[in-house]
């Protein structure tokens, strides 16, 4: 009888030990953080991958693009070797992105809820690392939209805001594409670069409707990414070198499937047609750093000046990367790291 009871008990003990092992983070040494924690908020479990030097309890929270991309996509060698030496970097898989999971209806995805998720992440980090922890927020592309929405909810949690080629005005993208393509295409044709491609670009903008059309938007969006490839090949910009090793960390079937759904839901909610924070940027008063690639074809550089002019911060700086497109953190990585570290040092 005793044996009959002992064997299941032993099995339960082994199972609990194994499962506890998988529930543990492997490094809580603040000077060299390497931890994965999950934030459970409003029916979603979202991973935050925390790396770097947290000895000063300064955390840089990064918001990835997409919507629906992956948090660790930022983590190239410059982040690892430079920015993570200066502070702890939190790479966050947003709701419905990367390896985040959960169970909620389409109403469970919105900019508002996703901004609350970021504030929930701050609460978790304070709970884990102490209420004296300090935070900077960084958003790239779509992360610029989410970051702005987060700050408009509660900017008191953050010491500074870094917008990298950000989407603070999604509604404005459609008309800016047309203006920017016309400008850059004519420049490149005059310089004799990839003439066929730029002529086809001019043809495209001559055929798209002048008011928002989803299909035309994505035609121009695809063209914008292709345009940056051409600019890279023609030596106008540096080719982005993203050496982040995420191939094994993300199951791409899962990440693409769930990220695609999230993007579609946000677009159906009118992200690209109705959402703009330009008129509310003046409410953001924390120190701000705006980093933009001069040849960004996806979010044209005119948005950078718009952000700089409208932000309400008394301490703000605009840095244009002369040899970059949409991803200056990969095409001018050293300058990018220098500017980010300098900003954090000045405001921490």
Partner 1 sequence: MNKCIFVFLLLLTLCINAQEQRTTLSFLDRTEFKIGYSGNVIWNNGLTFGAEYLWKEKVKIKDRKRGKRTNTHQFLFNSTLGFTTNFSSKTDTGLFTNFGLTWRRTNKKGKQFSIAFNPLGYYRSFLPETYEVKGNDVKKVFLPGRGYYAPSLSIGLGRLRKGKTLTGRYFNINFMLRTPYNTGTVPSVSLQYGFRFNFKKKK
67-71-75-76 Cα dihedral, nearest 10 degrees: -30
Per DSSP, the residues of 190-245 read HTTSSHHHHHHHHHHHHHS-SS--HHHHHHHHHHHHHHHHHHHHTTSSPPP-----
CB of 19 to partner 1, least distance (A): 6
253 binds partner 1 (CB under 8 A): yes
267 binds partner 1 (CB under 8 A): no
Half-sphere exposure of 198 (CA within 13 A, CB side): 21
Q: Which stretch binds partner 1 (CB under 8 A): 5-13, 88-96, 138-146, 338-346?
A: 88-96
86-87-88-89 Cα dihedral, nearest 10 degrees: -80
40 binds partner 1 (CB under 8 A): yes
Task: Count the neighbouring beta carbons within 10 Å of the beta carbon of residue 181.
Answer: 22
Q: Which stretch binds partner 1 (CB under 8 A): 18-26, 268-276, 286-294, 301-309?
A: 18-26
Q: Which of 33, 265, 291, 301 binds partner 1 (CB under 8 A)?
A: 265
Of the pair 84, 163, the CB lying nearest partner 1 is at 84
94 binds partner 1 (CB under 8 A): no
The 3 state secondary structure assigned to 256-272 is HHHHHHHHHHHHHCCHH
Task: Count the neighbouring beta carbons within 10 Å of the beta carbon of residue 81.
Answer: 11
CB of 42 to partner 1, least distance (A): 9
Of the pair 94, 238, the CB lying nearest partner 1 is at 94
Q: Tokens standing for 189?
A: 């044709």
Q: Which of 4, 5, 22, 206 binds partner 1 (CB under 8 A)?
A: 22
Task: Tell me the CA distances in angstroms from 214 to 159, 210, 272, 334, one per residue in order.
Answer: 37, 12, 8, 37
CB of 190 to partner 1, least distance (A): 46
249 binds partner 1 (CB under 8 A): yes
* Whether 122 contacts 61, CB under 8 Å: yes
Q: 97-117 burial, b for 16+ CB within 10 Å, e for fewer?
A: bbbbeeeeeeebbbbebbbbb
103 binds partner 1 (CB under 8 A): yes
218 binds partner 1 (CB under 8 A): no
Reduced to 3 states (helix: H, G, I; strand: E, B; else coil), residue 45 is strand
5 binds partner 1 (CB under 8 A): no
Q: How far apart are CA 68 and CA 45, in angstroms?
A: 15
110 binds partner 1 (CB under 8 A): no
CB of 273 to partner 1, least distance (A): 20
Q: Which of 32, 53, 110, 128 binds partner 1 (CB under 8 A)?
A: 128
108 binds partner 1 (CB under 8 A): yes
305 binds partner 1 (CB under 8 A): no
96 binds partner 1 (CB under 8 A): yes
Residues in contact with partner 1 by CB under 8 A are 19, 22-25, 35-41, 44-45, 47, 93, 95-96, 99-106, 108-109, 120, 123-124, 126-128, 247-254, 257-258, 261-262, 265
């Amino acid at each position: 009888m005793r044996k009959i009871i002992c064997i299941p008990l032993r099995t339960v003990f082994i199972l609990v030990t194994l499962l506890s092992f998988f529930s543990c983070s492997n490094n809580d040494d603040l000077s060299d953080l390497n931890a994965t924690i999950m934030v459970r908020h409003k029916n979603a479990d979202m991973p935050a991958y925390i790396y770097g030097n947290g000895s000063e309890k300064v955390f840089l929270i990064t918001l990835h693009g997409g919507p629906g991309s992956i948090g660790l996509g930022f983590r190239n060698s410059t982040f690892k070797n430079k920015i993570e030496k200066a502070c702890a970097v939190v790479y966050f898989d947003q709701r419905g992105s990367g390896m985040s999971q959960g169970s909620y209806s389409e109403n469970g995805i919105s900019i508002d809820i996703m901004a609350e998720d970021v504030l929930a992440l701050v609460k978790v980090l304070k709970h884990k690392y102490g209420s004296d922890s300090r935070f900077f927020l960084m958003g790239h592309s779509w992360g610029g939209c989410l970051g702005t929405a987060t700050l408009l909810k509660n900017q008191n949690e953050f010491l500074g805001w870094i917008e990298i080629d950000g989407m603070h005005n999604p509604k404005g993208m459609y008309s800016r594409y047309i203006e920017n393509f016309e400008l850059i295409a004519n420049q490149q044709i005059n310089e004799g670069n990839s003439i066929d491609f730029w002529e086809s670009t001019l043809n495209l903008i001559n055929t798209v409707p002048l008011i928002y059309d989803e299909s035309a938007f994505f035609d121009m969006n695809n063209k914008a990414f292709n345009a940056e490839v051409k600019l890279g090949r023609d030596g106008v910009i540096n080719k982005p070198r993203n050496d982040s090793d995420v191939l094994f960390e993300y199951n791409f079937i899962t990440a693409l499937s769930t990220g695609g759904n999230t993007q579609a839901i946000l677009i159906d909610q009118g992200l690209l047609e109705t959402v703009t924070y330009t008129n509310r940027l003046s409410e953001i008063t924390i120190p701000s750093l705006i980093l933009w690639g001069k040849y960004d074809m996806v979010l044209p550089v005119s948005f950078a000046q718009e952000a700089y002019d409208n932000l309400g911060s008394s301490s703000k700086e605009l840095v244009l990367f002369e040899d970059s497109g949409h991803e200056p953190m990969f095409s001018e990585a050293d300058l990018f790291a220098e500017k980010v570290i300098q900003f954090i040092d000045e405001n921490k």
